[in-house]
Structure 1
Amino acid sequence: MLYSFLRRLFLLLIILVILSAVSYTIFMRDPINQVFAEPYFYSGYFTYVDSLLKGDLGITYNGGDSLLMLILTVLPPTLELCFAAMIVAFLFGVPFGLLGAFFNKNIFGKAINAVSSLGLSVPVFWIAPILLYVAAIQHWQISAVGQINLLYEIKPITGFATIDVWFVDEPYRTKVIQNVFQHLILPTLVLAITPTMEITKLIQQRTEYILAQNYVKLSITRGWPIWRILTKYVLRNSLPLVIPQIPRLITFVLAQGMLIEGVFGWPGIGRWLIDAVSQQDYNSISAGVIVIGLFIIVINALTEILTFILDPFNKKGWYAR
């Protein structure tokens, strides 16, 4: 187990070195930064890494603001959107997958399978403006742009509007809470389409495999109710297989969220990075690459820990290695 842990730690260090090298290469695209690397290109790399380890991401040349403070402002809205989409995906994907497996012989199960395949092929950057247009012409309350109405003010505590709104001490707090969730619903639903369909297919395929096993067929012939088979066999053997897919799904949702933030006027890191690219602010781009890379690494590490705890076969694999 110690050898496996050291091997994973070594791989993590390699990934961090590659990530810092990519960020440093982007950083050096700015002619102003090249003076710090004279006479060789790699001369300033160790100074750059030392600054990163100290939490100093530098400043943006478009305004001179601290990049660390800017990222702490724009990152929470993006994470809020991604986590909300993943929650919705699990809430709908798991039941749809189970229903599709239990009723795979009739039209209901085939419809779920067809819709899940269609949802995986629909690009969100195409469907986002269409849904926003439909919601606007139908005068739905969720056809809102931005994170909150500019008439309201939420004091930033955690950076997540859905959490900070509960600390608003105003007579109209209920209206502010309603407004925050109205702005969150539509982009969340758009982002949740792909992971929902992905989870639906994973759960459906795994459930169909489990239902085809002899021990499940024997339980059915004994007259076990569906809910007992569901809790004893299906969920216990299906959900642990979804957990290793979480980093990939979150990474995919994060990338899609960065694409549609401009459509919904969402003040997230994706919209901020696109503005930085258009302004050729290489300091901001390099800092954004570092932060997004670290976020994905943390999510992957947490998922491996959770898989290690829940999956006994994974534990055996660690010791066997």
Structure 2
Amino acid sequence: MALEYVFRRIILLSFMLLLLSIFTFSLSFLFPGDPLSNLSGIQNISFHESDALSEKYKLDQSIPTQFISFITRVSQGDWGISFASQEPIFDHIVALFPATLELALYALLASIVFGIPAGIISAAYYKKWPDKIINTLTLLGYSTPVFWLALLMIMFFCLQLGLLPMSGRVSLLYEIPDVTGFILIDILLSDVSYKFNAFIDAIKHLLLPTIVLSTYPTMVLIRFTRDSMLEVLEKNYIKTARAKGLSRSQLIFRHALRNALLPVIKQIGLQFSTLITLAMITEVIFSWPGIGRWLIDSIYQRDFPAIQGGLLAVSTFIILATVTADLMHSLFDPISRNQTHGKI
């Protein structure tokens, strides 16, 4: 049953990636301008270059042949050249994606650390003042736009108090060798004399974007954990344990918590996909050098090959993260596999 479930998810993943590839391939013809320029990244194509590029990209052949050629080039790392920088798009994505992934991972960690315990406390004190306070804060977090919260944080902590920097990943005073693309890890791996100061500076740069980006998923995890916990607490085996004289803390931590967190595991993976998309707004506001900011800049510059490559990279990662979260949930909760039997 488990292998059958994984096989169905692999089929679903393959189908979604196929649709994404078809959509990305069609963008070269839907964008304004010459499809040959959109595919290659060369804007002023001479007559002799046109024949060579048409042969390379199979534009003189059928659409299925062009699509297969497109898939082959993408799998080989040939994603075209950016209009703006005249550099390979794949190199941009490889260089910038770790910064986005780092920000999303820290925001997800913050959401788990604060969201799940708050949801448990809210359920434990159902309809009491801790539950009311947490629900009020959750409602405020839901209702606050990400960009507005980011601007408020910058005005208060950066401009008013001067406690935190408002842009970038690390101050220009520190030169950190790029090894993994994750700034904190690169600082720890470096052998520079100012390692400690650079690490503290990077933490300060990371603090505000992480808080802003983690706000929405934290609110989601609070509500989801609370509702899941309340549902489990109404189960018959919990009522039986309560009748035996167990305290509320014993009911929660010994019996209810493990089963209540099973649906939350899947929600954590889904929120990670949400963080990748929300990171685009956060990166622009805080000048965070990630793929989201690069993609927004490409849209402003009408850099069609970069838009195509950026959308392909971000969408592929979101699809992979969503399917992985579903597989992880089924691994911890076998009942979910039985409930989805016969479904793709």
User: Same fold per TM (> 0.5)?
Assistant: yes
In structure 2, the partner of 1:249 is 271
In structure 1, the partner of 2:197 is 175
Q: Distance in 1 between matches of 2:13 and 2:289?
A: 31
CA contact (8 A) 1:144 1:182 kept: no
Q: 2:224 aligns with which of 202, 215, 218?
A: 202
Query: Between Structure 1 and Structure 2, how many residues are aligned?
Result: 321
* Residue type of the alignment partner of 1:134: F
Decide which moves more: 211-220 or 174-183.
Answer: 211-220
Q: Distance in 1 between matches of 2:38 and 2:150?
A: 38
In structure 2, the partner of 1:9 is 10
* Residue type of the alignment partner of 1:314: S
In structure 1, the partner of 2:50 is none
**Superposition pairs of residues 279-290 of structure 1, within 5 angstroms:** 279-290=301-312
Q: 1:99 aligns with which of 110, 115, 121?
A: 121
In structure 2, the partner of 1:74 is 96
2:306 matched to 1:305?
no
Instruction: Quote the offset at 1:42 in angstroms.
Output: 6.0
CA contact (8 A) 1:148 1:183 kept: yes
2:178 matched to 1:160?
no
* Residue type of the alignment partner of 2:324: L
Q: Distance in 2 between matches of 1:54 and 1:23?
A: 16
Deviations 1:233-275 (A, max 9, x none): 2221111101222343122221111012111010011110111
Q: Distance in 2 between matches of 1:140 and 1:219?
A: 53
Q: Distance in 1 between matches of 2:138 and 2:261?
A: 18
Instruction: Quote the offset at 1:317 in angstroms.
Output: 4.8
2:136 matched to 1:114?
yes
In structure 2, the partner of 1:45 is 67
CA RMSD of aligned residues (A): 2.2
Deviations 1:157-180 (A, max 9, x none): 111112111012122111000011
Q: Distance in 2 between matches of 1:171 and 1:10?
A: 51
Instruction: Quote the offset at 1:120 in angstroms.
Output: 1.3
In structure 1, the partner of 2:164 is 142
Decide which moves more: 235-244 or 296-305.
Answer: 296-305
Unaligned runs of 5+ in 2: 40-53
**Superposition pairs of residues 256-271 of structure 1, within 5 angstroms:** 256-271=278-293
Deviations 1:40-77 (A, max 9, x none): 66652221111012222122122221212111111111
Q: Distance in 2 between matches of 1:157 and 1:276?
A: 26
State the percentage of identical aligned residues: 30
Q: TM-score, normalised by structure 2?
A: 0.86
Q: TM-score, normalised by structure 1?
A: 0.92
In structure 1, the partner of 2:42 is none
* Residue type of the alignment partner of 2:183: A
Flag the 1:207–1:33 CA change in 2: closer, same or farther, 3 A.
closer
Decide which moves more: 77-86 or 16-25.
Answer: 16-25
CA contact (8 A) 1:82 1:253 kept: yes
Q: Distance in 2 between matches of 1:210 and 1:300?
A: 25
Instruction: Quote the offset at 1:117 in angstroms.
Output: 2.0
Flag the 1:320–1:39 CA change in 2: closer, same or farther, 3 A.
closer
Q: 1:216 aligns with which of 238, 245, 251?
A: 238
